[in-house]
Structure 1
C-alpha cells in the first residue's frame, strides 16, 4: 500500500489516536509457555470484537481502504491493553506485511504507543501468519531486517498451514517459528508429522531460530513434542485466550 509522504505524519497521528475503522477492536491474550522452566514467557495478542466476536468476524470487516489502519490499530491496542494488564514478558503481535508500506515509517506509531503506555520495546515480537499471502518476499525480508535492527523479535506464525517451505524459512530467518495446529494435532499418532517436525527443528537449530508449538491440546501431543525437544508451547492444554485478561496456567502436567 502506498501512502504519499505528505500525509505520512498525519497517518502516524491517526494510528496512535485511533482512526475510525468503522468498527471497534480489543484483544484477548493467550500464554506462551516455557516448558523447561515451567513459566509463562510471553503472551500472544489476538484481535477480537469488543463484544467478544472472534477474529473471523473482525477480518470480515477488513478491506483495502482500512487495511493499513487496522494493522496499526491492532499494534496500538495490543500494547495499550498489555500495559494495562501488567504484562512484563514478551508480547507477540500479529501484523499484515502487505499493509506495511515502509518498515521505518510504519513502526513509528508502535514506538510512540510503547512510550506512551510504558511498555518495554525490547519485549515486542512481531508475527506474520503463514496464511498471509506475501506478494513481495523481499519486502517481508526488509521488514524483518528493519525490526531486528531496532531490537524487536520476529516470528512466522502457522508454519505448515500455508505457502512456506524450508528453503523459504532459510531466506526469511525469523527469530521464532510457530508450528501450526495442523502439524501438532494427533502428532503422537502420526510418524509422518513427527518426521516433518524433526526436519523443521533441525533447520531451525542450524540457523538459530526458536521453535514454538501452538495448538497443543492433549497430554499425548505434549509428550511427543517434549521428546522431540520443543521447549516452547501454546495451546488450550495450558490455557485458552483470556478476553481482555490474563488466564491462569496449570503447570502440573509439566511436573
Structure 2
C-alpha cells in the first residue's frame, strides 16, 4: 500500500490517509485492479483491507489523529456483517480504532444492485465507520446514486477539478455539487488538485478537505509530508 493524505486546509493537518493499492513490483492501482476477477474479487478485497490497516499502523498513523480511508469493492461484499469480521479483527490486533476507518467505493465499479450498496452503507454507518463515494461525477451513476442513498463523504473526481480555475462550466458544476452536499449534510473532499489555481477556487467554494499532488504525493509504505501552500502565495496566485 501507498498512502496519500486528505488534508484539512484549515489546519494544514491530515484529516485522513487514503490507502492506495500497489503491486509487488510497484505497479499502479489500475494494473493491479485489471487482474481482479469474479473468482478472486472477495479474497482481493479482504487482503486489501488487511494490508491497508497493517500498513498504515506500521507507517505511524497511530501517532496522528488522522483517519484511514480504504477503497472497497461493493460487489465483493455478500454480507456487510460477515465480510467485515476480518477487518474488525485486524483493527483490534493493530490497535487502530474502528471509528477512524472510512470506506470508499468508486462510481466506476458497475453496481447492478443499488439496494445492496445502500445496505452496505447503512450497515457500515451502524458499525461506526465513515463511508464515501469516490470519483464522484464519473462512472456509472453520479447524482442518481446520491439520490438513492447518502454517504458521509463524496470525493469529487479529478476530471471535475482539472483546470477548475479556467473552466466556468466545471466551476459551476462543482459549486452546485458543493451546495447539494451541504444541504444533505455530506462533507465534500476534492481529489486530484495539482495547481494553485484549482486550490484557490476550491477554497473559495468552501471545500475544506483536499487531496492531490499539490499537497502531497502518495508514499509507498509511508505517510508523506504535507506541503500546504502559504496563504500569501495562494491568495495572489
TM-score, with structure 2 as normaliser: 0.94
CA–CA distance in structure 1, aligned partners of residues 29 and 94 of structure 2: 25
Residue 170 of structure 2 corresponds to: 193
Gaps of at least 5 residues in structure 2 are 233-237
1:229 aligns with 2:203: no
Residue 235 of structure 2 corresponds to: none
Match of 2:190 among 205, 213, 230: 213
DSSP 3-state at the match of 1:40: strand
Residue 123 of structure 1 corresponds to: 100
Matched-pair contact (CA < 8 Å) for 2:60–2:223: no
- The alpha-carbon deviation at position 63 of structure 1 amounts to 1.2
DSSP 3-state at the match of 1:50: coil
RMSD over aligned Cα, in angstroms?
1.1
Gaps of at least 5 residues in structure 1 are 1-26
DSSP 3-state at the match of 2:22: strand
Superposition map of 1:43-122 within 5 A: 43-88=17-62, 89-122=66-99
**Equivalent residues, number:** 229
CA–CA distance in structure 2, aligned partners of residues 170 and 231 of structure 1: 23
CA–CA distance in structure 1, aligned partners of residues 191 and 125 of structure 2: 23
TM-score, with structure 1 as normaliser: 0.87
Residue 119 of structure 2 corresponds to: 142
DSSP 3-state at the match of 1:49: coil
